Amino acid sequence: MQTWKSWWVGIFRWIRPKSNGLRVGRRTATYIRAANAARTQQNWAKAAFNYHMALAIEPHLRHLWVQLGHVEKETGAIDRAGAAYEEAIRLEPQDVEPLLHLGHMAKAWQQPTEAAAYFLRALQSDGRNLQAISELARVMPDRDHVDAVFWVSAMTVLNIGDRIAMPEDGEPLPDHPMMFDVTDLLAFFGQRRLPTGIQRVQIEISLALIGGQADTQPTFCIYSSARRGWIALPSDDFQILCRLAKQSDDGDDPLWIDQLFRIYRMIAAARTVRLSPGTTLVNLGTSWSDRNYLLDVRTARARTGIVYVPLVFDLIPLIEPTWFMGSLVRDYRAWFGSLLHSADGCLVISRATRQDLLDKATERKAPIPTNAVPVVPLDGNFRQEAADIAALQTYGLDTQSYVLLVSTLEPRKNHIGAFRAWMQLAAVLDEATLPHLVCVGGRGWLNDELHQMLHANPKLQKMVHIFHGVPDDRLAMLYEHCLFALYPSFYEGWGLPVSEALSYGKVPAISAGSSLPEAGGSFARYFDPYNADSIAATVRTLLNDETRKAAEIAIKDGYAPRTWQQIAQDLLTKARTVTPRNLDSLPHLSGPGTWFLSLSGQTDDNIMWGEPLRHGHSWQAPTSAGCRVTGDDAALWFYWSGGSGARLHIHVAAGHDAASVSANLNELSCTFQGNGDATILSFPLPDVHGPIKVALRSSGKDLVVEKVEITSGGHAPLRPFNAPAAA
């Protein structure tokens, strides 16, 4: 009997449920299943309760402490989330995952020193962790604002020594220099290696500026949110990184990893650049991920006299938001609304994009002069050295047997239109006559319908090939041996694949809208991207050998792409034509309204986004509650063009810690002191038009400005405040 009992006990032990590969008890497993289900439904409180119950039974389950940290963070219980991550670290000190989560959490809560400490601890456990070093480089405080012991520990872990030649620290730039912000590109390299369209343009322009014959030597830099300024990159190392990026999609290549580490180590140890009057700062990306970037641009423009000129590739998230993820549209909308009040001008890549920008700026009542938006066309020579034709066989292709479509798989690129055209062609052409369609590009987003269409049509599957992660030399080979190129995109800022195809002497069959006629000129063949019949008819025309070869001869004889050195010099020259417009770019307030400084102000075009009102380094990043103010370097700055009798109301709230704030407008001042309280600081606005600057000074870390309101009459504050009788 005892033998049978032991046997059954063994069987039950053997079939005990598992969690993350570990055997757990049945009660524990029940709580874990309930927690996982609640997490899937985003019921964070219920998930946290069930993870707590499971851990009360089996507190040794490290992975559950990590999950508990995640869901507690989602509930807003930051202290409990931190405690859960710390317990996971105690159970497995060498595991860097909880440390990375703690670092990201501190970074999100605008605690760069604490975030840097967590990322440093992660590197101490895993000295080759790319995420840890890239994040440390971004949040590392300036050496003058950090504990000496921490600084020494960081330099030791980063192995900063004689083997790395550090750029000169804190040196002012020469008079009227050109600085190129490549923050976005470095952030991209931290996640991926092989560049896509925008990154390719940034790389080619950067390489042309470094190694070309431009009439000035530019400084490349990245923005540091922790240091509220820009850090210069060593040009030679940045050049090596750009060249390596083009060679392969292998993110684990030791040469690539070593160069990334080298760059990040230098960034972590360097001081910020001392900007000089007359500096032109050209952003080759967008930098919308950091919510204080444009604030610091505005502050630098006002105090140092720099000119800020971003390169704008397109405004498509504003034109058709359904083509993108909701979070991207929200962030883009907020970025653009702030950009209009932060830039002296914009470089754009096509006449169509310039018109889009001018139209959207006017819609938002922040018009930009046309002469402040020069066009730098991307009509460059994209031809690269091609891989050997033998590599074509690795893709299962023969020369001249396919049409090439190069694009990320996303709704705007209209792969579905191409697939429908191919199905129509398959119905009227025999298999030997119809070339295959080769799609090369990133995996993209919102493309479930595309994949469902492929799975539902076996015949289409045989005609369509999709390849991801194709390096430059193999992409060049695919261009060289295709019949022609297809680009059915609904909307573009320029259309890089069109210029690519022409660079290889191939005829591009493309959409007839947005900027694409500028890219294709007389050398392309055009169709209506919304009409599969039109796409199919254009493709069928180019299947005629005589027609296609005549078009190729026209390209060979008449198409003259610019070199990247020429494009880079064009960009330099046109950036210099942009002049300062500090006061002209201030937000114009002309009557009653409410301007939100919380993230809720990004959710709807009808809500007025108050972020562009901010100036100074005491502002922290916007949160769901509003904007924190810490210190005495914060102001609200705008141009008042309204009438008489209006009043300005600043809605502020103190958190758990006691805080006080004072606001000053001309000779009037308001003060407020509270703990967990909210109030309104109220001023009469002058009867005359002109710039208004309200200085804010805070004595606490938990003071939040929620919104700014203008009313046409009086407005009673929520609680008393000290103010002169005139207020």
Q: Does 726 score more than 50 pLDDT?
A: no
Mean pLDDT of 690-718: 77
pLDDT for res 631 = 85
Q: Compute the average pLDDT of residues 221-245.
A: 92
Contact between 379 and 508 (Cβ < 8 Å): no
Looking at the predicted structure, is the pLDDT value of residue 176 above 80? no
Residue whose tokens read 């620290």:
169
Q: Do 421 and 319 fall into the same domain?
A: no
Does 511 lie in the same domain as 406? yes
Q: What is the pLDDT of residues 617-662, one digit of tens each?
A: 999 888 878 888 888 899 999 999 887 889 999 998 876 666 677 7
CA-based diameter of the chain, in Å?
A: 100
Give the orientation angle of helix 26-40 with respect to helix 44-57, to 10 degrees. 160
3-class SS of residue 378: coil
Domains contained in the chain, number: 4
DSSP per residue, 440-492: ES---SS-HHHHHHHHT-HHHHHHEEEE-S--HHHHHHHHHTSS-EEE--S--
In this structure, the answer to whether residues 122 and 187 fall within a common structural domain is: no
**705 pLDDT exceeds 60?**
yes
Query: What confidence tens digit (pLDDT) does each residue in 317-344 have?
Result: 999 998 888 778 888 888 899 999 999 9
What is the rounded average pLDDT of the residues 536-544? 96
- Both 72 and 131 in one domain: the answer is yes
Query: Helix (H, G, I), strand (E, B), or coil: what is residue 395?
Result: helix
Q: Which of 372, 403, 425 delimits the end of a domain?
A: 372
Q: What is the dihedral of CA 678, 684, 689, 695, to 10 degrees?
A: -50
User: Would you say 247 and 476 are in contact if contact means Cβ atoms under 8 Å apart?
Assistant: no
6 in any annotated domain: no
Residues 40, 69, single domain; the answer is yes
**Whether pLDDT at 529 is above 80:** yes
Domain check: are 228 and 360 in the same one?
yes
Domain that includes residue 285, residue range:
178-372
Instruction: Choose between 494 and 659: higher pLDDT.
Output: 494
* Cα(530)–Cα(541) distance, integer angstroms: 18
What is the pLDDT at residue 551? Answer: 97
The pLDDT of residue 166 is 45
Residue 165 located in a structural domain: no
- pLDDT beyond 90 at 353: yes
Domain assignment of residue 716, yes or no: no
Which pLDDT does position 513 carry in this prediction?
92
pLDDT digits (tens, 9 = 90+) for 548-595: 999 999 999 999 999 999 999 999 999 999 999 988 899 999 889 999
Residue 326 and residue 248 share a domain: yes
Phi and psi based region of residue 626 (left: phi greater than 0; alpha: psi -120 to 50; beta: remaining): left
Question: What are the tens digits of pLDDT across the range 32-54?
Answer: 999 999 988 889 999 999 999 99
Composition of the chain by helix, strand, coil, percent to 5: 45, 20, 35
Strand order in the sheet with 229-232: 229-232, 219-224, 178-181, 280-283, 307-312, 347-348
User: 207 and 137 in one domain?
Assistant: no
Tokens of 614: 């901010």
> Quick one: which H or E segment has residue 553?
helix 545-558
CATH number at residue 445: 3.40.50.2000
Q: Which CATH number is 610's domain given?
A: 2.60.120.260
pLDDT band at 17; cut points 50, 70, 90:
confident
**Of 322, 337, 372, the domain-final residue:** 372
The answer to whether residue 723 is domain-embedded is no
* CB contact set of 362 (below 8 Å; sequence gap of 6+): none
Task: Look at 201-205, 440-444, 720-724 and tell me which has the smallest mean pLDDT.
Answer: 720-724
Whole-number Cα distances in Å, 454 to 192, 451, 536: 27, 5, 18
Average pLDDT over residues 337-356: 96
The pLDDT assigned to 107 comes to: 81
Rounded distance between C-alpha atoms, residue 284 and residue 262, angstroms: 22
99 within domain boundaries: yes
Q: Does some domain include residue 701?
A: yes
Instruction: Return d(Cα 460, Cα 443) in angstroms, integer.
Output: 19
For position 724, what pLDDT does the model report? Answer: 34
At residue 722, the pLDDT reads 36
Cα distance between the two ends of the chain: 92
In angstroms and rounded to an integer, the radius of gyration of the C-alpha atoms of the chain is 29
SS (H, E, C) 271-326: CCCECCCCCEEEECCCCCCCCCHHHHHHHHHHHHCCEEEEEECCCHHHHCHHHCCH
Mean local confidence (pLDDT), 260-287: 90
Question: What does the DSSP assignment read for 128-177?
Answer: T-HHHHHHHHHHPPPGGGS-HHHHHHHHHHTT-STTS-PPPSSPBPPSS-
pTM metric for this prediction: 0.85
Average pLDDT, the chain: 86
